[in-house]
Amino acid sequence: MAESPDWTSCLIRIRDDRDETAFVALFRHFAPRVKAFLMRSGADAALAEEVAQEVMATVWHKAAQFDPARASVATWIFTIARNRKIDALRKQARPEPEDLPWGPEPDPDQADAVGLQQEMDHLGQALAELPDKQRELIEKAYFGELTHREIADATGLPLGTIKSRIRLALDRLRHAMDGRAR
């Protein structure tokens, strides 16, 4: 498999051709990641697998709503998994912003999707290059059901330090993504 498989065209084959082979490839890559995400958020293995299965089925059913100019496949699946997590683990509704007045472009500019994917690659690299402590804090904030205060209790660091470390880490990421974002 290529180093960075083209998940965007894989998802577009699912969207446009209802291609099951493409779905299996996408599943083999993302279902274990969604499962790990759920487990880090406190789900046991069985529930995490069940939710991962539902998330991947949702990807198939909602493929028409995927907009490659706005989100990478990983980002889009993350948002679906996050919403299912709130529903399954916290039994809460998740208020979502109203849709933009324009939907996904039927035929988006390839350059947009490619540019977005490059940005994601940069972001992934920047994250990998963060000092371990900063990266761990960001991961805890995203994946643990932990508030900043709980992270402070767990790590023994004062709340202000946590917040400034997270801010610093985000600044570095933002810096790494500079140029295209705004």
| Stretch of 37-45, 107-115, 152-160 lying at the interface with another protein (CB under 8 A) | 37-45
Q: Should residue 172 be labelled a site residue for another protein when binding is judged by CB under 8 A?
A: no
Residue from 55, 56, 69, 161 nearest 110 by CA:
69
Compute and round to an integer the Cα radius of gyration of the chain.
18
The residues, ordered by sequence, that sit 6+ positions from 78 with a Cβ below 8 Å of its Cβ are: 37
Q: Should residue 97 be labelled a site residue for another protein when binding is judged by CB under 8 A?
A: yes
Which residues inside 120-139 make contact with another protein, applying CB under 8 A? 120, 123-124, 127, 138-139
Q: Should residue 154 be labelled a site residue for another protein when binding is judged by CB under 8 A?
A: no
Q: Please count the CA atoms within 13 angstroms of the CA of 169 that sit on its side-chain side.
A: 22
Q: Should residue 105 be labelled a site residue for another protein when binding is judged by CB under 8 A?
A: no
For residues 134 and 146, what is the distance between their CA atoms, to the nearest angstrom? 15
Write down the least CB distance from residue 53 to another protein, Å. Answer: 5
Residue from 102, 105, 97, 16 nearest 67 by CA:
105
Which residue among 19, 112, 119, 136 contacts another protein (CB under 8 A)?
A: 119
Site string for another protein, 64-83 (x = CB under 8 A): xx----xxx-xxxxxx-xxx
